[in-house]
């Protein structure tokens, strides 16, 4: 049972309703959906700033986090978000569950539903796994990252952070640089940024750039792909660095780490080509000295820590909207 009587104040009471049972990627979100998440997250940020940073909006709801892959910030962020709204939270990892005894994903998800899970936050090393889960349960499924495919709440918290600094993103230039090929963060960001009106430049060594993503930008060419970071950075409003996903890479995709650093590290010299004060972002975990220099990571234009803090408010918003949709 979900008690959503106590709305966070100020609540987006007149806003269009959330109509998604699951949140598996940002590609199905309309601009209105995204605005609703952003407005709700604004309200949640206000809740977070109160002396007692809690509301009872999700009292009676059970949120299960089911992580088949390592995570620090995503899992902790969802747990803090759910608890800040009074939900009961159960955390499961693959190693601590019956998965090691051979239980299938579908069985696991059905078991969790039977014990009363309302919302299931799931991370899996296989792309598409949360889609299988969502098809087999009445619980709302939130994708906390699946393989190289999608990471919708990361993209939403990235967008939220950009909007707090830049306002509306229409016509803004966002450069995402690094291992785009293996990045679920980049992929989900492409959809949400396009829906919010931004233009996206994906940059990295040619072997790490998925050509197919260019078509996401439609005929206006709102998604550009380039291997030339110095050119990509010209007029950038936002520069987002990505981690090299060594664990997902076949060998030989980058010539050497030194060459990678020379060509693609986000650092002060390079940032001078972007707009003055361009935001520096990174989803974490960072490898400082590789994809980003320590000065850039901790410099004045860096909003990396803010991304993590905003992640809690955005996940509160997502949990709240999905729980509300379930009570209708």
| Least distance from ligand NCD to the Cβ atom of residue 283, Å | 4
| Least distance from ligand NCD to the Cβ atom of residue 91, Å | 16
Near ligand NCD in 215-244, by CB under 6 A: 243
| DSSP one-letter string for 168-221 | S-TT-EEEEES-GGG-HHHHHHHHHHHHTT-EEEEES-GGG--GGGGGGGTTTT
Residue 18 DSSP class:
P
Q: Does position 182 bind ligand NCD by CB under 6 A?
A: no
* CA 20 – CA 33 distance, rounded (Å): 9
Q: Does position 292 bind ligand NCD by CB under 6 A?
A: no
Provide the 10 A C-beta neighbour count for residue 327.
Answer: 11
| Least distance from ligand NCD to the Cβ atom of residue 288, Å | 13
| Least distance from ligand NCD to the Cβ atom of residue 249, Å | 12
Q: Tell me whether residue 67 or residue 320 sits nearer to ligand NCD (CB atom).
A: 67
CA distances from 165 to 162, 255, 257, 263, 307 (A): 5, 36, 33, 28, 12
CB 221 within 8 A of CB 187: no
Q: Does position 124 bind ligand NCD by CB under 6 A?
A: no
What is the helix (H) or strand (E) element at residue 37, kind and residue range? helix 31-48
Q: Does position 162 bind ligand NCD by CB under 6 A?
A: no
Q: Does position 282 bind ligand NCD by CB under 6 A?
A: no
CB 285 within 8 A of CB 245: no
Q: Does position 145 bind ligand NCD by CB under 6 A?
A: yes
How many residues bind ligand NCD, per CB under 6 A?
A: 10
Near ligand NCD in 253-272, by CB under 6 A: none
| Least distance from ligand NCD to the Cβ atom of residue 164, Å | 18
Residues that bind ligand NCD (CB under 6 A): 73-74, 145, 151, 154, 184-185, 243, 283-284
């Amino acid at each position: 049972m979900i008690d959503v009587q106590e709305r966070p104040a100020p609540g987006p009471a007149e806003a269009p309703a959330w109509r998604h049972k699951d949140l598996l990627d940002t590609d199905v979100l309309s601009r209105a959906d995204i605005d609703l998440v952003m407005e709700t997250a604004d309200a949640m940020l206000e809740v977070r700033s109160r002396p007692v940073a809690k509301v009872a909006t999700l009292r009676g709801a059970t949120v299960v986090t089911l992580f088949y892959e390592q995570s620090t910030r995503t899992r902790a962020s969802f747990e803090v978000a759910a608890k800040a709204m009074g939900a009961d939270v159960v955390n499961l990892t693959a190693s601590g569950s019956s998965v090691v005894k051979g239980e299938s994903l579908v069985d696991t998800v059905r078991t969790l539903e039977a014990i009363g899970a309302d919302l299931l936050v799931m991370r899996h090393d296989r792309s598409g796994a949360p889609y299988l889960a969502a098809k087999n349960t009445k619980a709302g499924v939130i994708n906390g990252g699946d393989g190289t495919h999608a990471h919708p709440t990361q993209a939403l918290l990235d967008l939220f952070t950009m909007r707090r600094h830049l306002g509306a993103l229409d016509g803004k230039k966002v450069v995402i640089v690094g291992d785009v090929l293996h990045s679920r963060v980049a992929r989900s960001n492409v959809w949400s940024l396009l829906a919010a009106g931004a233009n996206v430049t994906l940059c990295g060594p040619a072997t790490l750039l998925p050509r197919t993503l260019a078509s996401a930008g439609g005929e206006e060419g709102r998604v550009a792909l380039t291997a030339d970071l110095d050119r990509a950075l010209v007029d950038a409003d936002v520069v987002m660095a990505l981690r090299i996903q060594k664990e997902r890479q076949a060998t030989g995709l980058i010539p050497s780490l030194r060459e990678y650093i020379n060509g693609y590290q986000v650092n002060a010299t390079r940032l001078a080509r972007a707009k003055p004060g361009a935001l520096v972002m990174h989803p974490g975990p960072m490898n400082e000295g590789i994809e980003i220099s320590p000065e850039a990571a901790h410099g004045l234009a860096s909003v990396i820590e803010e991304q993590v803090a905003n992640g809690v408010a955005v996940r509160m918003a997502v949990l709240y909207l999905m729980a509300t949709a379930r009570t209708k």
